[in-house]
Structure 1
Amino acid sequence: MILCIDSGNSRIKYGLWDGVGWCRSGSCAQADGDALGEIRGEWPMPRRIMLANVAGAGAEAGIRAALGDWGVRLEVVRSTAQAAGVRNGYRDPGRLGVDRWCALIGARALRPGALLVVMAGTATTIDALDGDGNFLGGLILPGQQLMLGALARDTAGLPFAAGEHRAWPQCTDDAIVSGAIEAQVGAIERAWSRLPGNERHCLLSGGNAGLLQPFLAMSMVRMDNLPMYGLKELARETSRET
């Protein structure tokens, strides 16, 4: 059994892989990382515990504490030049966010062909793989809440909007919410138009995936927890190597 933990900017997602599927999964806020400790009383210690963490050293320390004696098996994953059929095209491969790296590996394991991998969370990331598994590059932009918060914080008269998406908004709240959605959807669709290959897929993941999905013009597959699929693949690959 493999325990996969994706520690993001806002939330911790986790799942137990039994070799066939996810037999247990869940999520909690970063501040409530102790929730990870609850699974220790329900399951035997996993053979591997894989962590992708972008929330800093404090978050890692909190996860280790929550795992208790399981912490001896915690493996902190880093982005590398190549793994699990994906080649990292970043100028400095180690600087690619490990959540993006794991999402690319998970996507490659789930779908053949060229891939656009969208993670819609605190930030929205849009990454591309060609059909041979080469990482072409990607975009990072503020997610929905960050966009709304920036307008509320850094302008004199705009609220933290609670509007709805409209094709032609006629009130300020709707204009802000619609603008933030359109900015992200537009970036995704522009990236999709540049993705090479005849066989290509868009995989959409993250906490705001459901917000963006209805407004995307191209076909896509909603695939929650993509980084955890990548962590599972990395664990399986290193097990074969040893």
Structure 2
Amino acid sequence: MIVCLDSGNSRLKWGVHDGHAWLEQGAAEHDDATALAALVGRWPRPRHLLLANVAGTAAAARIRERLGAWAPLLQEIRSGECCAGVTNHYRQPERLGVDRWCALLGARARTKTPCLVVMAGTATTIDSLDGDGNFLGGLILPGSDLMRRALANDTADLPLACGDWSATPRCTEDAIASGVLEAQLGAIERAFARLAASAAICLLSGGNAGVLRPHLGIPCIETPNLPLDGLLRIAQERGSAP
């Protein structure tokens, strides 16, 4: 059995895999002290336990503590130069966020066509992967909620808007909501156009994926928990699959 943990900026996601299929996937806030303990209680001791963490050293320490008897098994993953058919062309490959690295590996496991890998969470990351598995580079921008909070916190008169998207917004709340959404969509669609491949597809993951997908004018598939798929590929590369 393989257990994969994805510690993001806002939440901890997990998946339990038997070598053939995901048996369980779930998520909890970082301050939920019971989720990992319950996971350990539900399942037998795994053969491999992998962690991708971008939430800092304190979060990693909490995860290790809450794993209890499983803690000695924990392998904290780092970004590398090549794995599972993906070649990392970052100037310093080890500086690529491990969540982005795992999402790229997960994307490559799903398709061998050129693809745009979008993680829409606290931040939005937009990464380009060609048909040969080369990671060409990518973008990072504030996620939708961060954009809205920045306007509310750093301007005198703009609210923390809960408006709706409109092509022609006619109130401030809708103008903010529409502007934030259009900024996200525009960055994704511009990056997709640069792939310049007729068979290209966008793989969209993260908590805000469902908000973005209906508005995108490009071939797009919503793929929950891509980093977990990438962690699984790392485990399989290491020979842990049956």
| C-alpha distance after superposition, 1:150-191 (max 9, x if no partner) | 000000100000111111100000000110000000000001
Count how many residue pairs are aligned between Structure 1 and Structure 2: 241
Task: Look up the equivalent residue of 2:132 and give its one-letter code.
Answer: D
Percent identity, aligned pairs only, is 57
Answering whether residue 58 of structure 2 is matched by residue 95 of structure 1, we say: no
TM-score by length of 2: 0.97
Counterpart-to-counterpart distance in 2, 1:34 and 1:179: 38
Query: In structure 2, how many angstroms separate the alpha carbons of the residues matched to 1:165 and 1:30?
Result: 30
Q: Aligned with 1:210: secondary structure?
A: helix
Counterpart CA distance in 1 for 2:171 and 2:37 is 46
**Distance in 1 separating the partners of 2:196 and 2:114:** 7
Deviation at 1:197, TM superposition (A): 2.9
Deviation at 1:240, TM superposition (A): 6.8
Contact 1:131 1:197 in 2 (8 A): no
Counterpart of 1:219 in structure 2 is 219
Structure 2, unmatched stretches of 5+, are none
Q: Which moved more, 1:96-105 or 1:37-46?
A: 37-46
Q: 2:201, 2:218 within 8 Å by CA — same for their partners in 1?
A: no
Instruction: Provide the residue aligned with 1:26 in structure 2.
Output: 26
Task: Give, in angstroms, the shift of residue 45 of structure 1.
Answer: 0.6
Pairs within 5 Å for 1:176-187 = 176-187=176-187
CA offset at residue 113 of structure 1? 1.2
Moved over 4 A (4+): none
Amino acid at match of 1:68: G
| Mapped partners of 2:158, 2:80: distance in 1 | 43
**1:200 shift after superposition:** 1.6
CA contact (8 A) 2:203 2:223 kept: yes
Q: Which residue of 2 aligns with 1:46?
A: 46
Q: Is the 8 A contact 1:111 1:201 kept in 2?
A: no
Structure 1 gaps of 5+ residues are none
Q: For the residues of structure 1 that align with 2:122 and 2:206, how far apart are their CA atoms?
A: 9
| Counterpart Cα distance in 1 of 2:8 and 2:121 | 9
1:198 to partner: Cα distance = 3.3
Given that 1:116 and 1:126 are in contact with CA atoms closer than 8 Å, whether structure 2 keeps it comes out as: yes
1:128 aligns with 2:128: yes
In 2, the alpha carbon distance for the partners of 1:76 and 1:200 equals 32
Structure 2 counterpart SS, 1:55: coil
DSSP 3-state at the match of 2:204: strand
Which residue number in structure 2 is paired with residue 73 of structure 1?
73
CA distance in 2, matches of 1:115, 1:240: 27
Partner of 1:11: 11
* Residue in 1 that maps onto 2:116: 116
Q: Which amino acid aligns with 1:126?
A: I
Say if 1:114 and 1:196, in contact at 8 Å, map to a contact too. Answer: no
1:41-63 deviations in Å (ceiling 9; x for gaps): 11101100010000000110111
**What is the aligned partner in structure 2 of residue 166 from structure 1?**
166
Output the CA distance in 1 between the equivalents of 2:102 and 2:117.
11
> 1:150 aligned to 2:160?
no
Shift of 1:219: 1.6
Structure 1 partner of 2:61:
61
RMSD: 1.2
Give the TM-score of the pair, scaled to structure 1.
0.97
Query: Is the contact made by 1:185 and 1:215 (CA closer than 8 Å) also made in structure 2?
Result: yes
Secondary structure of the 2:9 match is coil
Compute the displacement of 1:36 (Å): 1.0
Closer/same/farther in 2, CA of residues 8 and 240 from structure 1, 3 Å limit: closer
Alignment of 1:182-201 (within 5 A): 182-201=182-201
- Partners of 1:240 and 1:151 lie apart in 2 by 47
